[in-house]
Amino acid sequence: MLDAVRLRLAAAGDDATPGGVAAALRAQGRLLGDTEILGVVTALRSEMVGAGPLEPLLAAPDVTDVLVNGPQEVWVDRGSGLERADVGFADAAAVRRLAQRLATAAGRRLDDARPWVDARLPDGTRLHAVLPPVVVGGPCLSLRVVRTRAFTLEELIAAGSMDAGTARLLRAVLDARLSFLVSGGTGSGKTTLLSCLLGLVEPDERIVLAEDSAELRPRHPHVVRLETRPANQEGIGQVTLRDLVRQALRMRPDRLVVGEVRGPEVLDLLAALNTGHEGGCGTVHANAASDVPARLEALGSTAGLDRAALHSQLAAALSVVVHLVRDRSGRRRVAEIHVLERGRDGLVTTLPALAGTERGPGWARLAALCERGRAAQAVQAVSPAGTAAGRPR
């Protein structure tokens, strides 16, 4: 019935309004009540402008990821691990049509010549789709839901992501304007935590975000969001994350934020943090906080930066690493906080300051960094004449 109504509306050039659907049903000799007609309208609109059968899942407030492995293999993550969803598609062709329509809505191409796409939908949802023959079997869809509202520290504490002591420590890191990275694996909550922390930045500070896909949504009154752009079908017009970092430096940021450091832009970020841009931050994929220097070293090599130069920049640019994990129950939590330390060989390593609730050998250094930052702020806030002068530029 839906296919027949869809074809009728397409042939007539009508929208999927209640009146148009009712006329299409009458033309087929079907008489339905108002409730049934509204149900058909909702189903058609979700297929034509929404996410089809996936629409209710994406609208659910507790869903973070929706994964489609096949017509009858739809999985969701509600924060406690993957579970099978009670929805499906008619066949693989229906999955392909949805994937192509979503890609088109994001301004991207998805077909046999370009069988994959990574894009952001108009509502902020992150889309990744792959078509055969790159994927064996049928098309696969991965949708990451981006919530329009950032969590507060209190909500993260209530969810078990951290305790009150860790929350106070993270506030101290922000207040001291220490540069930091949030590390962790995919889906560990890096973006969620960073959005929350940026919302705690003083309202008179200007935050400039540079991201591949605009996912950070801090609750802050002064945020400028920059997003990369792929090349068009002629191969021109590409804007890389490295381009955005360079432009952000010219926009007078008080806090420069790189949504995810995963390429040559690490060079520009470290250079920026070494030229007076305090309090910068970002996220990076890593298995543990202690692996972050090696991870940045590998990324720096893509920009032509040798090991010694990278570690020299890193030692002066970055102070803290906050590492997140996702345990077997699906709970995302702050596992450890490290400070960076440069050895006699010139290489930077991390030193555990906090692991869970246990203080590590780096605790004294982290406390000193936070106190030093606060003391510096107090000095900068007063002019030589003893009057408030504001932050120096």
Taking 90 as the threshold, does the pLDDT of residue 231 lie above it?
Answer: no
Q: Please tell me the predicted confidence (pLDDT) of residue 20.
A: 63
Q: Please tell me the predicted confidence (pLDDT) of residue 205.
A: 94
Phi, psi angles (nearest 5°) of residue 354 = -150, 125
Q: Write out the two tokens for 24.
A: 């299409």
Q: Which residues in 87-100 are b (16+ Cβ under 10 Å) and which e?
A: bebeeeebbbbbbb
Taking 50 as the threshold, does the pLDDT of residue 383 lie above it?
Answer: no
Q: In terms of C-beta density within 10 A (0-12 exposed, 13-18 middle, 19 or more buried), how is residue 263 classed?
A: middle
The residues, ordered by sequence, that sit 6+ positions from 78 with a Cβ below 8 Å of its Cβ are 60, 62, 63, 64
Read off the pLDDT band of 76 (50, 70, 90). Answer: very high
Q: In terms of C-beta density within 10 A (0-12 exposed, 13-18 middle, 19 or more buried), how is residue 191 classed?
A: buried
Please name the residue that has the structure tokens 């090696």.
294
Q: Please tell me the predicted confidence (pLDDT) of residue 270.
A: 87
Q: Please tell me the predicted confidence (pLDDT) of residue 329.
A: 76
Taking 90 as the threshold, does the pLDDT of residue 213 lie above it?
Answer: no
Q: Please give the C-alpha separations between residue 375 and each of 8, 304, 366, in angstroms, as whole numbers.
A: 72, 38, 14
Say how far apart CA 269 and CA 239 lie, in whole Å. 16
Lowest mean pLDDT across 66-80, 104-118, 368-382: 368-382
What is the pTM (predicted TM-score) of this model? 0.79
Q: Please tell me the predicted confidence (pLDDT) of residue 318.
A: 93
Taking 60 as the threshold, does the pLDDT of residue 376 lie above it?
Answer: no
